[in-house]
């Protein structure tokens, strides 16, 4: 039987399905009786969704101009 510290250490690997079947079984066995680690797991899932929602950034106009110039420098004006 693993303790809370070991369970928390394996929590993300559990979510990412990186645990071996034996370690997965030990982790789930711990969850069966540990309410706090169930909370940790739910929060980790929430945190994972939070990270996945990280917004796109807008390209500042100054950079649009800079990249535009670079592309023109690289490929010319396309007429030669």
Partner 1 sequence: MGVNDAKVEFQSVAREQIPWLYALARRLSGEGAEDVVQECLVKAFRSYDDLRDIEAAPAWFRAILMNCARDRFRRTTSGINETPLEEESDYSLYRTIADEDPWPYSDSVHVDFLHSFTEEHVWEVLDRLKPMYRIPLVLVHMEGLDVRNVSRMLGAPHNTVLSWLHRGRKQFERELWEYAEEHGLLKQRKESQR
Binding site for partner 1 (CB under 8 A): 5, 8-9, 12-13, 16, 18, 39-40, 43-44, 46-48, 50-52, 54-57, 59, 63-64, 66-68, 70-72, 74-76, 78-80
Phi and psi dihedrals of 59, rounded to 5?
-80, 120
Minimum separation from the CB atom of position 72 to partner 1 (A): 7
- Spatial contact of 39 and 7, defined as CB atoms under 8 Å apart: no
First vs last C-alpha separation in the chain: 73
Minimum separation from the CB atom of position 69 to partner 1 (A): 11
């Amino acid at each position: 039987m693993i303790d809370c510290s070991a369970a928390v250490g394996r929590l993300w690997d559990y979510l990412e399905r990186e645990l071996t079947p034996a370690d997965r079984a030990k982790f789930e066995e711990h969850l069966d009786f540990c309410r706090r680690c169930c909370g940790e797991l739910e929060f980790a899932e929430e945190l994972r969704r939070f990270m996945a929602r990280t917004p796109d950034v807008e390209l500042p106009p100054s950079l649009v101009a800079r990249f535009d110039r670079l592309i023109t420098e690289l490929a010319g004006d396309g007429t030669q």
